[in-house]
Amino acid sequence: MRSERTSHGLIVRAPAKVNLFLEVMGKRPDGYHDLNTLMVAVSLFDTLEFKEDSDSTIRLDLVPATEEPGDEDRPLLSPGPENLVWRAADLLRRHVGLSDGCRIRLTKRIPLAAGLAGGSSDAAATLLGLNRLWRLDLGTSELMTLAAELGSDVAFFLGSESAWCTGRGEIVTPLQPTTPLWLVLVCPPMGLSTARVFQALKTPEQPVDGSGLRQALLDGDIQAIGRGLFNRLQSTAEELCPALAELRRRLAILGGVGQLMSGSGTTWFVLCRNPDEAHRAARNLDQLTRENLVSRVHVVRSCF
Ligand code: ATP
C-alpha cells in the first residue's frame, strides 16, 4: 500500500484481500483461534483521502452512501468511533501523544462483512496515511504492533501483497509470487459476521497442510493453486447461510481452475487462468444476479 501526495493532502488506496487457504489450528485461551492462512491483496480498492485540520477532531466522511442496490442485508457503516478508520487514527494519535485532528474521506467500494477485510485494509491505510501526513516517522514494526491491536488482518495490509499469516493472522510472512492471479469476486447480497462463524466452528482434529498451495503460488502453477484452494470456515458459513451452499453448486459449472469462499464469507471467488477467462466467467453470472443469489461481481487481479 502506497500513499500519494496531492495538493491538499494524501491519498491511499486500500485493497481487498482473498484467502487462498485458511485452516484453523486450534482455539486459544484468549478466545481467538490460531490460523494458518495465505492471503492475497486484490485490485478492488477503497480510497482514503487525508487532510490536516486546524482543530483536534477526527472527521470521517463516507462516500458514497454505503447502501447499494442489493446490499440491503449488510450492516451499515458508521462514520464515528465504531469505524476502524476512526479507531486507527485515534490509536495512532494516542500512541505518539499528539492532539492534532484530521479530515478523512473514505470512498467505500469493498462490500462489508464479505470476507474481503475491507475494514482492516482501511485501518492499515489510515496508519500509513496519517504516519506520513502527521510526519510521525514510525517504522513498520511499530505500525505492525498498532495494527495487531486494531484487528487480526490489519498487519497483513501494511507491507504485503501476498503473505502466509499465522497466530490470529497478525504474524505475517510475506511471499514473493511472480505470476499474477486473475479472479472473479462473487458477492452475495448478505454479509456474515466473522465472530458468528468462529463461534459456530468445530476446530478440526487433523488440520490440513497448506505448504503445497504456498509452493504452488511461488511456482506460479495455476492448476496446483486451484487444486490446493481450501477454507475451513466454508462449511460452517454454509450451515449459517444456506444460500452460500447453493451459490457453491452454481459456481462449480462456471469454469476457472477452482472456486472458494474467502475468509469467513460471504464472498466467493473463481480463480481463472487469464483475464479473458475471468471476464467470460463474470458474464455467465447474470442469471445468478437475476435470481438475487449474487449482488456484485468484480473481475480483479492480484496486487502482485
Ligand atoms: P474479515 O475478512 O477480516 O473477517 P470482513 O470482510 O468480513 O472482514 P469487514 O467488512 O472488513 O468484514 O468488517 C466487518 C465489520 O467491521 C463491518 O460489519 C463493520 O461493522 C465494521 N467496520 C468498522 N469500520 C469499517 C470499515 N471502515 N469498513 C468496513 N467495515 C468496518
Measured distance between the N- and C-terminal CA atoms of the chain, rounded to whole angstroms: 11
Ligand 1 pocket, mutate which of 73, 77, 154 (most atoms under 8 A from CB): 77
Atom of ligand 1 nearest to the CA of 265: 7
Specify the ligand 1 atom closest to the Cα of 194: 4
**How far apart (Å, rounded) are the C-alpha atoms in residues 43 and 157?**
13
Tell me the CA–centroid distance for residue 8 and ligand 1, in Å.
Answer: 28
Helix (H, G, I), strand (E, B) or coil at 59: strand
Nearest to 251 by CA among 224, 295, 282: 282
28 versus 68: the higher-pLDDT residue is 28
The reply to whether 217 and 100 lie within a common domain is: no
Whether residue 243 contacts residue 265, with contact meaning beta carbons closer than 8 Å, is answered with: no
- Please tell me the residue having the least CA distance from ligand 1 atom 18: 113
Asked if 41 and 140 sit in the same domain, the reply is yes
Active site residues: 17, 153
| Per-residue pLDDT tens digits for 167-205 | 999 999 999 998 999 999 999 999 899 999 999 999 999
Query: What length is written for the chain?
Result: 304
Q: Taking the mean position of all CA atoms in its chain, how far away is CA 165?
A: 13
Asked if 92 contacts 131 with a C-beta cutoff of 8 angstroms, the reply is yes
Report d(CA 211, CA 158) in Å as an integer: 23
Q: Where does ligand 1 bind, in terms of residues with CB under 6 Å? A: 75, 77, 82-85, 112-120, 122, 153, 194, 263-264
The reported pTM is: 0.95
The number of folded domains in the chain is 2
CATH of the domain at 213: 3.30.70.890
Q: Are residues 13 and 155 in the same domain?
A: yes
CB-based contact 145:19 (threshold 8 Å): no
Domain limit, last residue, from 139, 174, 209? 174
Which atom of ligand 1 is the closest one to the Cα of 263?
A: 2
pLDDT band with cut points at 50, 70 and 90 for residue 71: low
Q: Give the range of the structural domain holding residue 238, as residue numbers without chain letter.
A: 182-301
Q: pLDDT tens-digit profile of 136-170? A: 999 999 999 999 999 999 999 998 899 999 999 99
